Amino acid sequence: MELLDTYIARRAFLAAGLRPSTVTLPSTSDDGGGGEARTIHYWAPPGEPRLPPLLLIHGFGPMATWQWRGQVGLFSRRFHVIVPDLLCFGASSSCCPSSQPPSESAQAAALLDALPALVGTTTVAARTRVAVAGTSYGGFVAYAMARAAGPARVGPVVISNSDLLKTAEDDSAFLERAGGGWTHPADVLMPLDARGARRLMELTFYRKQASAMLPDFVIRDTMKKLFSDKRKEKIELMNATTVGTDAFQLTPLPQDVLLIWGERDQIFPLDKAFAVKSCLGDNVRLEIIKKTGHVPQMEDPDRFNKIVLDFLLGSQGSPSNEHNH
């Protein structure tokens, strides 16, 4: 199952003209300039960009290619699409043992450091405004990027199914919805057995997934392959997220923002969408995609893609409009 999904996802990325590459991040004061260099693996079209850049940021799932495979083909016709693996995910660097695991703000800072290389190598490309879209945890990172860099560098912003007002009470409510005696969200979100995997699929998707019907041993082996890699680091990463703590304050963004939510999301329920919208400012548009759960870009890619493209192409400050002037 995992090999087939990986093959299908890679094929979609290759068909869209994207190729895998790696960028080395500049040294920071945190690493003292020594030790192993940190790298970000990403997919993007080779060569200088001829279209406005769009960064697609994955969530806490196993593969960026798996989460965005339904978008890259269409989006690549209008944008220079860049799909990175966040630190501690995929082929990007692990969290450095000598430093704390990155918060979503540190993930955003790493992407901003890498942006000139991700977008292109020329001075003009380095100054190019980048549209960003993030799903779930990736929405936390997209928000942090937009807030840190400001509208001159980042915007417009698409945030999908990301509860930027998440609290400890929300985590407890999520565990209650999950049932089964789990004690930490990571236990539900990174299962290692067939029972946990089936429950995660039920919570993530509104529609029944064919993979849930596979034999237990196939699901179990797949889960171990997907969620054993960097498992300890990812649990630390989840704990390092500042959203939901006193260290995080949700403030309005000056950029145009599209907030997308799956109507039947059981991980971040729909009522949170309205609360997040009310805190993000006047430039926010909320779109609810019916009969989808936590990953509407996977369950209804046609609807999701139309909403996102209409927003990006219609946004007054979009890099697409700047590119065309």
pLDDT band at 325 (very low <50, low <70, confident <90, very high): very low
Domain membership flag for residue 77? yes
Would residue 179 be called left, alpha or beta, if left means φ above 0 and alpha means ψ between -120 and 50 degrees? left
Domain membership flag for residue 50? yes
* Residue 250: predicted pLDDT: 94
Which structural domain range is residue 142 located in?
1-22+39-166+246-314
* Residue 29: predicted pLDDT: 53
Report whether pLDDT(30) > 70.
Answer: no
Report whether pLDDT(31) > 50.
Answer: no
* Count of structural domains within the chain: 1
Give the domain CATH number at 292.
3.40.50.1820
The DSSP letter of residue 281 is -
The DSSP letter of residue 17 is T
Domain membership flag for residue 66? yes
* Residue 5: predicted pLDDT: 64
C-alpha 191/C-alpha 223 separation (Å) is: 7
Report whether pLDDT(178) > 90.
Answer: yes
The DSSP letter of residue 118 is H
CB 295 within 8 A of CB 262: yes
Over residues 101-123, the pLDDT tens digits come to: 788 999 999 999 999 999 875 54
Sequence-ordered list of residues with C-beta below 8 angstroms from that of 8, at least 6 positions apart, any chain: 69
> 154 in helix, strand or coil?
strand
pLDDT band at 1 (very low <50, low <70, confident <90, very high): very low
Among 85-89, 240-244, 317-321, where is mean pLDDT lowest?
A: 317-321
Domain membership flag for residue 187? no
Domain membership flag for residue 217? no
C-alpha 299/C-alpha 315 separation (Å) is: 25
Closest of 19, 137, 140, 126 to residue 82, by C-alpha: 19
Q: In the numeric block, which tokens belong to residue 137? A: 């945890």
- What would the 3-class secondary structure string for 160-194 be? ECCCCCCCHHHHHHHHHHHCCCCCCHHHHHCCCCH
Q: What is the DSSP string of 120-142?
A: -SSHHHHT--EEEEEETHHHHHH
* Residue 234: predicted pLDDT: 83
Stretch (H or E) spanning 56? strand 53-57
Query: pLDDT above 70 covers what percent of the chain?
Result: 87
What's the farthest any 2 CA atoms get from each other in the chain? 57
Domain membership flag for residue 250? yes
* Residue 24: predicted pLDDT: 93
Query: pLDDT above 90 covers what percent of the chain?
Result: 55
Q: What is the mean pLDDT of residues 199-209?
A: 87
Report whether pLDDT(224) > 90.
Answer: no
pTM above 0.75, yes or no: yes
C-alpha 242/C-alpha 26 separation (Å) is: 24
The DSSP letter of residue 22 is E
> 158 in helix, strand or coil?
strand
Q: What is the mean pLDDT of residues 298-309?
A: 97
Q: What is the mean pLDDT of residues 66-91?
A: 94
Give yes or no for a cis peptide into 156 (omega within 30° of 0). yes
Domain membership flag for residue 229? no
Domain membership flag for residue 186? no
Q: What Rg, from alpha-carbon coordinates, does the chain have?
A: 19
Over residues 161-170, the pLDDT tens digits come to: 999 999 989 9
* Residue 2: predicted pLDDT: 47
Report whether pLDDT(126) > 60.
Answer: no
